[in-house]
Amino acid sequence: MYNNVMAIIFSGFTGDRSGSMSSMGDAPSNCLFKWIDGQVNAKLSIGFMFLTTFDDVNELHMNNVKFSSISIDDDLREKCDKWMKPRNMTKLYDTAIGDLNRLISAKKAYVKNMPRMLKCLTPNIVMIWACLTDGFDNSSVNTSKDFRNKVLEAKKEGVECFFLAANQDAIVTGEQYGFDGRNSLTFSSSKSGINVAMESLRSVSYEVSQGFSPGFSQMQRSQSLTPPMVYH
């Protein structure tokens, strides 16, 4: 049953649904649906999904859910609409730290209990986590330093961490949070901006699952800023 295993992927997404995301209309929910579709149908034999959205409350929607059990249908589309409906403030640090802890713990538990037949195939085990936000934290108990330390810890554990952000320079902010600059992408706070950003995330996530780690391309960076960014 494991003959076609290309990789075992633990894929996490932490998405901002605070009130300011309303500038992007229904694009965030549509993008989330497409991202889940892309992960589930990436031709991987084994995969596990972790999905949280947050405003000043974090809501865990998928926790170590097998790709094979996720149905890409109208019901999921309606859930994405509900999950990403903008409201309230921004609890970024607390949410992201909890999500990284879950992702790393699940991977360790899986490796410890991996069936012998699968272990003999020495599969490529990949952890991918993406954080998307259009602002700065204003509701967490943890600090930006705590968040940075967790991202750095996650990278040491082998997690490929991506930071997608609007209304700021994502490379500068991402590096402050511990992300690699090549894995940080600024997008305009618009439908077109988040569409390009999430499509770019789908692309680089697939590359990582295949054993490559290219980061975001210059073309992806340019296209995600159409229309041009205006910082306030």
143-161: average pLDDT: 98
Res 5 pLDDT > 60: no
CA pair distance 48, 103, nearest whole angstrom: 9
Consecutive H or E run containing 174: helix 170-176
Res 231 pLDDT > 60: no
Q: What is residue 221's predicted lDDT score, i.e. its pLDDT? A: 94
Evaluate whether 204 touches 197 at the Cβ level (below 8 Å).
no
205-215: average pLDDT: 85
Q: Domains of the chain: which residue ranges?
A: 7-223
CA pair distance 7, 208, nearest whole angstrom: 10
Q: pTM, whole model, 2 decimals?
A: 0.93
CA pair distance 178, 154, nearest whole angstrom: 10
CA pair distance 154, 157, nearest whole angstrom: 5
CA pair distance 186, 224, nearest whole angstrom: 7
Token pair 């975001």 in the structure block, residue? 216
Torsion of CA 23, 163, 217, 30, to 10 degrees: -40
Q: Which two tokens mark 134?
A: 């259009």
Percent of the chain with pLDDT over 70: 94
Q: What is residue 109's predicted lDDT score, i.e. its pLDDT? A: 97
Predicted confidence (pLDDT) per residue in 79-135, tens digit: 999 999 999 999 999 999 999 999 999 999 999 998 888 888 888 899 999 999 999
Predicted confidence (pLDDT) per residue in 31-61, tens digit: 999 999 988 887 666 899 999 999 999 999 9
Would strands 7-16 and 124-133 be described as parallel, antiparallel, or unpaired?
A: parallel
Q: Which two tokens mark 9?
A: 């992927």
Evaluate whether 123 touches 7 at the Cβ level (below 8 Å).
yes
Q: What is residue 116's predicted lDDT score, i.e. its pLDDT? A: 86
Average per-residue pLDDT for the chain: 91
Domain 7-223 fold: Rossmann fold (3.40.50)
Give the residues across from 59 on adjacent strands. Answer: 53
